[in-house]
Amino acid sequence: MARPAYQITRPDFLTAKRYLERKIGSASPDLGSLRRCIEPEQLQEWCDLNLTRKEWEQTKTTLRQARKRSREYREGGAPKHVDLTPWAHKVITELAKHEGFDNLSDFIEDRFRDEWADLPIEK
């Protein structure tokens, strides 16, 4: 049985529309018809008529990434980014590998769990 075609959902609508407006730019004659889409079904129809297979794939990738960021935020906040010197990165990466961790976050959480629990801060 063939997999059903991708359908733009209400939660994806604004992300998809903004992405497509930026992607096709103001030079395209299709921009006006895109901007008139006010429902997911209208945007779906516009995409079916105007996007190539590659553009559809790029749009779906953008929507998946947006969903992932949204989910991460709901589940405890977006990932944080820190700056490390090259040496600090090498040290922590090697320690994590040596102890069998696949990523630095898991290593840091495991290694410092007890120390963090003992801190006199509100958690």
Expressed as residue numbers, the domain containing 49 is 10-74
Q: Is residue 56 part of a domain?
A: yes
User: Does the residue 28 lie in any domain?
Assistant: yes
Q: Are residues 50 and 105 in the same domain?
A: no
pLDDT level of residue 17 (50, 70, 90 thresholds): very high
**CA of 114: how far to CAs of 37, 80, 110, 111, in Å?**
53, 21, 8, 8
Q: Are 33 and 1 in contact (CB under 8 A)?
A: no
Mean pLDDT computed over 98-123: 83
CB 71 within 8 A of CB 63: no
Is the same domain home to 67 and 94? no
Domain membership flag for residue 5: no
3 domain residue, yes or no: no
**70 and 97 share one domain:** no
Whether residues 68 and 101 share a domain: the answer is: no
Return the pLDDT at 29: 67
Last residue of a domain, one of 38, 54, 74: 74
pLDDT at 85: 97
Nearest-CA neighbor of 22 among 49, 67, 58, 57?
58
Same domain, 33 and 64: yes
Average pLDDT over residues 62-90: 85
Domain assignment present for 4: no
Q: Label residue 103 by pLDDT band (50, 70, 90).
A: confident
Element housing 120 (H / E):
none
The residue ranking higher by pLDDT, 98 or 118, is 98
Same-domain check for residues 70 and 91:
no
pLDDT of residue 87: 97
- Please give the tally of structural domains in the chain: 2
Average pLDDT over residues 51-59: 90
pLDDT of 20-52, one tens digit each? 988 877 656 678 888 899 999 999 999 998 888
| Structure confidence at residue 117 (pLDDT) | 83
Both 70 and 16 in a single domain? yes
Q: What is the model's pLDDT at position 45? A: 93
